[in-house]
């Protein structure tokens, strides 16, 4: 049975600091769920995010607008264009690989999603 995984990636740019509440232990499978916060210095946190193939990542945008553009790696999901604020958008990653993404609104704001094969 294909195990579905998800991880919430919050892009909340507020005055509060951020921390990851769940991260994989070295040698263990990627987490199946978790909650993370963005730091106030315009970063996606955590990066990298590790999930299993078939899992999804939810990009939650706070009051400051952001977008997500993947670097064109084969198997990458659709970009999240526009200026997104106060909303969440999920993307599924069916194929194992590393996916780099950027926010075109904030130069230098980048992140990575590492997708591991199921059972591998």
Question: Where does the chain show beta strands of DSSP type E?
Answer: 6-11, 49-52, 55-61, 66-70, 80-84, 87-93, 97-102, 110-116
pLDDT for res 63: 82
pLDDT in tens, 27-86: 666 654 433 334 446 878 788 899 999 998 988 888 888 899 999 999 999 999 999 888
Class of domain 6-116: mainly beta
pTM value surpassing 0.75 = no
Q: Where are the domains of the chain?
A: 6-116
pLDDT in tens, 78-103: 999 999 888 888 999 999 999 999 99
């Amino acid at each position: 049975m294909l195990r579905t995984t998800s991880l919430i990636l919050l892009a909340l740019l507020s005055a509060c600091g951020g921390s990851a509440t769940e991260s994989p232990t070295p040698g263990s499978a990627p987490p199946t769920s978790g909650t993370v916060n963005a730091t106030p210095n315009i970063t996606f946190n955590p990066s990298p995010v590790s999930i299993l193939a078939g899992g999804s990542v939810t990009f939650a945008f706070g009051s400051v607008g952001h977008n997500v553009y993947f670097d064109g790696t084969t198997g990458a999901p659709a970009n999240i264009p526009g200026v997104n604020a106060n909303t969440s958008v999920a993307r599924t990653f069916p194929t194992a690989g590393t996916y780099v993404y950027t926010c075109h609104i904030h130069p230098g704001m980048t992140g990575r999603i590492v997708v591991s094969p199921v059972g591998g």
